[in-house]
Amino acid sequence: MGGKKKKSAAAPTSFFACVKVVIQPELEKKVIKLINEYRQEHSDKGPISGRLTSKKLLDLYTALQKFQFKTEHIEEAMKSSMLYGGDLTSALDWLCLNLRDVLMLFLQNDRYLLLAAQLYDAKEMAAESKAKKDKAGQRTAQDRIRVIQQEMKSLESHPMFNSAVKVKDAPKEEKKPVALTDGKEELNFNLFEQADTPPKKKKEPKDIRNFDYTSRSWTGKSPKQFLIDWCRKNLPKSPPPSFGKVAVGRYWKCKVRIQRPNDVLEVCPTILTEDGMQAQHLGATLALYNLVKGQSVHQLLPPTYRDVWLEWQDGDQKEEEQTRSAINKPRDQFIARLLARLKQQQTLQPQAEPQDRLQDAEAEDSWENLDTQEDHEPQRGGGLEAEEASRRLLLKLRSSALARRLLAEREQLPVFQHRQQALEALWRHRVLVIAGETGSGKSTQIPQFILEELLANGEPCNVVVTQPRRISAMSLASRVSQELGSEDGPGAKSSLCGYQIRMENRSGDATRLLYCTTGVLLRKLQQDRLLSSLTHIIVDEVHERSVQSDFLLTVLKEVVHKRSDLRLILMSATVDCQKFANYFNRCPVVTIPGRTFPVEVFHLEDIVEETGYVLEQDSEYSQRFVEEEEEVSINITQKGGKTLQHQEPIVRDSGPGWDLSPELDHFSSRTRHVLQYMNPNKINMDLILDILEYLDKSPQFRDVDGAVLIFLPGLAHIQQLYDLLTTDKRFSSKDRYKLIALHSTLSSQDQSSAFTVPPPGVRKIVLSTNIAETGVTIPDVVFVIDTGKTKENRYHESSQMSSLVETFVSKASALQRQGRAGRVREGFCFRLYPKFRYNSFIDYSIPEILRVPLEELCLHIMLSTNFKCEYGSPEDFLCRALDAPQQQAVCNAVSLLRKIGACQQDSYTLTPLGHHLAALPVNVKIGKMLIFGAIFSCLEPIATIAAAMSEKSPFVTPMSRKEEANLAKSALAVANSDHMTIYSAYLGWKSSRSEGTRAEMAYCRRHFLSRTALMTIEDVKHELIRMVEQAGFVASKPGRTPRSRPGAEPKALGSLSQQDVSVLKAVLTAGLYDSVGRILCTPSLDVQERVACVAETAQGKAHVHPSSVNRFLQTHGWLLFQEKVKYTKVFLRDTTLISPLSMLLFGGDIDVQHRERLISLDGWIYFQAPVRIGVIFKHLRKLIDSLLERKLANPKMNLEGNLLLNILFYFIYL
């Protein structure tokens, strides 16, 4: 929420384009009271500008005067706004909130301007009628003019009327003489009549002057002639000026009379002359002075008259200043007092800032310590005494029976033969790259070599090994702990090895070798930016190129430069190792060959040919479900035989899955048919079961002992295959099969069984993701079944979000998977894709930093900077990365973080929201949605919807049953929302699942749902809820509002009230804004005709996607959308109809356009509302931001009974 203030764009040309917003008077009073209380409480906390001057305050005062506000209201508004850094807008806001009749100010003036335009039109009509001699039309126009003028006159008399807009063209009045003087002595027409007999008064000295200019060689016009010529030119219908000489003793003066169209000007100077002609010239000069004030006519007059002109001008200015000074004295005194108070408050600010910064630092520290189990670790080291204790423990463990027995196994590893070479290279160089083939033993042995060498020589030793996955860190630490001779496990007093992962720390005082996840080391860097306690850092699996590992390498490059005593080892599979070496100043590379046996590879064509697999026409793995869409022209016959053609996007049948190459000609027609029509985008579980059966029945494989390792993309596929295997009679015998699932979310106890060799005659089947490619080694694998799929984080430009996308692996990954089968003997690899598909794979996976949005990475850079790690700005830091992303992508990421309120507008300092988003490994918009879901006590449904956004929609569309699938989805539709419809489908699936597998499968078939997708959503949802709860957001106690608790899961959507649905929509708005569009309502006159829904977004018009439940929605309102995709038209996917109030409460920057009575969001979204309501929402947003900031800084803060929260819910329920 919140963000940098933008200049508002022009308001829409028609109010009909705006949704109207109104609130009840009672609610309005409550909110205004709350706003004023908040302002009073925080009135002394606003930043006062150091450039405030009396001139700026005067400008503000004058601007408010133009609105015709009373003086006391202006002064109160300025005091209430300027004392917390306000301006004209905030002063107007205060007036709108606190003056009941301020609305009339804008209404009156707007109405007056409208009437003025109508008056002009009426006069034009009257003139035209007169020219045409149309008396009837003339009478009608005159009547209209009279009515308009009467209403305008009543508005002009209103105390709030702005005289600046008054129409000056008034009806002609009776001619009346008007007397003007030089400003020193007022003379009206009556005084001229009594000029010879002035009233008795004390005689003043006479001003007698000589204006003779003949001696100065003047060749121009005389003042009298100049006046006559001027009147002839500018007043052609008036008679020439008249000059009446008046004798004053022996001196003269002259009164001048000029007839003007509407009045008479008569002037007479008070200066006397000795000559009658001079008196006439002087009178003419005074008349010109009054006729052409402000013009430089005096420069055309003789010098003597020019001087008196300037004298009159100076006198007038002096008198005006005196009058103005007298009138403005109270105003100037007020401004002086206000400026003095502002300066006083300004001097107090620097004293408060250090304390504020200290509080901020404490808040950051407390936030970071949320995961106390993770970051609290025992102090290791302790000098010579501790090192000696570690050396004695090593010698003791070395002599144990366990260490001696496992030493024989260690010596068989290829890396053991290169022990001395690796250690010598490390002593000579501070950075070293070790490239080892899979199975070489580098992950377990290299750290032990360093540990044993250092402790044996009595040198300081504290080694950290980072792993990309938790399971790798745990399994490696367990194995190394045993090889070192400890039987008590990692972290025990008798073990030198331990591990630390998120929420689990198995290390102790004796630990000298620590395996940890990359994230754990990054958090250690926040506490100690030079990692002073460590002697060696080993970064394992660097070839995977995750965002975290690339971030860590960028940091470590700087740390190594600053610490000459630190050694850094990068360990990788033999994949592009030279790139890492070049990044670290061409450091040496030590290559260790792997101990692998030959592996025979079978591709899809070989597998189908050997197993006899048949693809049935109605199989779910045939080309029925397709992934792409295209737009086609469809002819529709309407009533009366009329044909209408329109474009409609449909799911495209891409035809055969593979273009068969001539190399497959020698295969059977059955095999070629399977390859041609099997869906390449769906993992064929039936074929995997047939392969497993084939291994047991085929003479070639049935007598071969060894485990089967099956690579699958994700947990949902693992669960699906696990269920199929456990329910299939062919694999139900526990004496013959041992089934194990390997995934980072499973418990360590379940995963440890994957590394245990089963008894003879028992076939171990391990279902795993790409974690088993290089991260962990299962010792007895002989058979590998490679689906060729993995899940990668991908950025979608359409939704500006990232999600895990199922994609084909690279050649390097396929070779790694193949190599897992050749660890103990000759192995066999079954690839569920043709050979020509393998040939088309990319060589290496694209580094994650180049294919994901950078908001999460920028958050971590800012977080580290907040902890004084001095990484610099995200732009500066990322340009130093191994593969630097585009600068514009980094700037866009920072801009989005500021827009959603994750960091400060003018710096890289994280807000409390930003701190929490940094702890959630999801897209920042989804993260914000989850946090708001926790605050508003609806975490469970929001986490479900967020999981569906992160993965994919559970709805599927068969090509031949498209209309049926849409109807099935419509049957589940709720609240004009695709997001709520997905939640409805999820709840129905959960309910059917409790009735058994048959009921579950029937429900999915009936509603065209993917069971695999629903299972994935279920798993991701629980993980998201767990992470939010770890951040400290706990379930609120049930209050009087019908809100669901975060952990509560309704049995059906019907159990959610309409109010609950409104809350869910508001939270969706808080997360996904500004992906919104205004519905362009175009209802058809024909009730039976269904018109496609079109919305206006910030980038232009877009159609609602035909798969949406809102595809035919026709109403005035706003749609929230998840993503925008472009075919021949632009379409909005996954939409939800939302309330304007939700946008005003949780949307972008609010700007109140007082005169237009409009509220704008981000300069392009407009709502029509009274001025007061616009100001209410603008200030209510500040209260919301303040409350949320306090809640985010302290997640356990109890909001039950909070007045503001109750008001928010009331707005949401409207």
Q: Six-digit token pair at 102? A: 């301020």
Residues 581 and 724 in one domain: no
Q: Six-digit token pair at 371? A: 């995961």
Number of H helices, E strands in the chain: 41, 33
pLDDT in tens, 210-227: 888 776 677 788 999 999
- CATH number, domain of 267, equals 3.30.160.20
- The SS3 assignment for 523 reads helix
- CATH number, domain of 589, equals 3.40.50.300
Length of the chain: 1214
pLDDT > 90 in the chain, percent: 22
In a domain, 858, yes or no: yes
pLDDT number for residue 784: 95
Band the pLDDT of 1205: cuts 50, 70, 90.
confident
3-class secondary structure per residue, 701-723: CCCCCCEEEEECCCHHHHHHHHH
Cα–chain center distance at 374? 29
Mean pLDDT of 97-112: 60
Which of 847, 874, 891 is the C-terminal boundary of a domain?
847
Distance, CA of 654 to CA of 680 (rounded, Å): 11
Which of 930, 929, 898, 937 is closest to 914 using CA atoms?
A: 898
Which of 301, 319, 351 is the C-terminal boundary of a domain?
301
In a domain, 1081, yes or no: yes
In a domain, 63, yes or no: no
Looking up tokens 């992934």, which residue turns up?
Answer: 627
Per the CB < 8 A criterion, the answer to whether 1 and 1184 are in contact is yes
| pLDDT score of 107 more than 60 | no
Residues 696 and 772 in one domain: yes
pLDDT in tens, 697-746: 888 888 888 899 999 988 778 888 988 898 888 888 888 888 888 765 55
Rounded-to-10 torsion of CA 751, 752, 757, 762: -40
Angle at 692 between CA 689 and CA 697, to 5 degrees: 120
Question: Which burial class, exposed, middle or buried, applies to 25 when counting CB atoms under 10 A from its CB (0-12, 13-18, 19+)?
Answer: exposed
Residue with more model confidence, 1074 or 435 = 435
Angle at 734 between CA 733 and CA 735, to 5 degrees: 90
Distance, CA of 800 to CA of 794 (rounded, Å): 10
Which residues are CB-contacts of 615 (< 8 A; sequence separation ≥ 6)? 621, 622, 673, 674, 677, 678
- The SS3 assignment for 1048 reads coil
Residues 1135 and 1189 in one domain: yes
Residues 887 and 1034 in one domain: no
Beta strands 1158-1161; 1165-1168: pairing state: antiparallel
pLDDT in tens, 274-319: 889 999 999 999 999 999 877 888 888 898 898 999 999 999 889 8
Mean pLDDT of 661-679: 82
Residues 587 and 648 in one domain: no
Looking up tokens 């794979």, which residue turns up?
Answer: 841
pLDDT in tens, 936-968: 889 999 999 999 988 778 888 765 677 788 888
Residues 992 and 1056 in one domain: yes
Residues 790 and 861 in one domain: no
DSSP designation for 755: G
Which of 56, 34, 43, 41 is closest to 85 using CA atoms?
A: 43
Q: What is the residue-averaged pLDDT of the chain?
A: 79
In a domain, 1017, yes or no: yes
pLDDT number for residue 423: 92
pLDDT in tens, 408-461: 889 888 899 899 999 999 999 999 999 987 778 889 999 999 999 999 888 889
| pLDDT score of 631 more than 50 | no
pLDDT in tens, 1113-1139: 988 889 999 888 776 688 888 899 998
Query: Partners of 601 in the beta sheet?
Result: 829
153-162, 286-295, 631-640: least confident range? 631-640
Cα–Cα distances (Å) from 325 to 25, 54, 174, 208, 322, in that order, read: 44, 15, 36, 32, 5
Distance, CA of 536 to CA of 1104 (rounded, Å): 56
Strands laid side by side in the 707-711 sheet: 599-602, 827-831, 781-786, 707-711, 763-768, 737-742
| pLDDT score of 175 more than 80 | no
In a domain, 324, yes or no: no
Residue with more model confidence, 168 or 850 = 850
Q: How many domains does the chain have?
A: 6
Beta strands 707-711; 781-786: pairing state: parallel
Distance, CA of 167 to CA of 1210 (rounded, Å): 46
Band the pLDDT of 85: cuts 50, 70, 90.
low
In a domain, 356, yes or no: no
pLDDT number for residue 871: 78
Band the pLDDT of 910: cuts 50, 70, 90.
confident
Residues 892 and 943 in one domain: no
Alpha helices in 664-776 (DSSP H): 669-677, 685-697, 715-727, 748-752, 771-774
Distance, CA of 773 to CA of 743 (rounded, Å): 12
| pLDDT score of 159 more than 60 | no
DSSP designation for 977: B
pLDDT in tens, 326-349: 877 888 888 888 888 777 766 665
Distance, CA of 113 to CA of 152 (rounded, Å): 9
Distance, CA of 243 to CA of 266 (rounded, Å): 10
Residue with more model confidence, 104 or 1190 = 1190
Distance, CA of 646 to CA of 824 (rounded, Å): 63
Residues 521 and 549 in one domain: yes
Which of 301, 331, 361 is the C-terminal boundary of a domain?
301
Distance, CA of 201 to CA of 64 (rounded, Å): 46
Residues 502 and 581 in one domain: yes
Which residues are CB-contacts of 289 (< 8 A; sequence separation ≥ 6)? 182, 298, 309, 312, 313
Beta strands 827-831; 599-602: pairing state: parallel
In a domain, 40, yes or no: no
Distance, CA of 209 to CA of 269 (rounded, Å): 12
pLDDT number for residue 666: 78
Residues 871 and 1000 in one domain: no
Residues 966 and 1016 in one domain: yes
Asked whether the bond before 1074 is cis by omega within 30 degrees of 0, the reply is yes
In a domain, 43, yes or no: no
Q: Six-digit token pair at 993? A: 């699942």
pLDDT number for residue 577: 86
pLDDT number for residue 1043: 42
pLDDT number for residue 941: 94
| pLDDT score of 999 more than 50 | yes
| CA dihedral (667, 672, 674, 680) positive or negative | positive
112-121, 124-133, 681-690, 1163-1172: least confident range? 112-121
Per the CB < 8 A criterion, the answer to whether 436 and 592 are in contact is yes
Distance, CA of 869 to CA of 526 (rounded, Å): 6
25-29, 267-271, 798-802: least confident range? 798-802
Per the CB < 8 A criterion, the answer to whether 293 and 316 are in contact is no
pLDDT number for residue 552: 92
Cα–Cα distances (Å) from 1082 to 258, 1009, 1020, 1085, 1114, in that order, read: 66, 32, 40, 9, 7
State the residue range of the domain holding 652: 600-624+642-847
Which of 159, 153, 148 is closest to 105 using CA atoms?
A: 159
Looking up tokens 């984080």, which residue turns up?
Answer: 793
pLDDT in tens, 245-256: 999 888 999 999
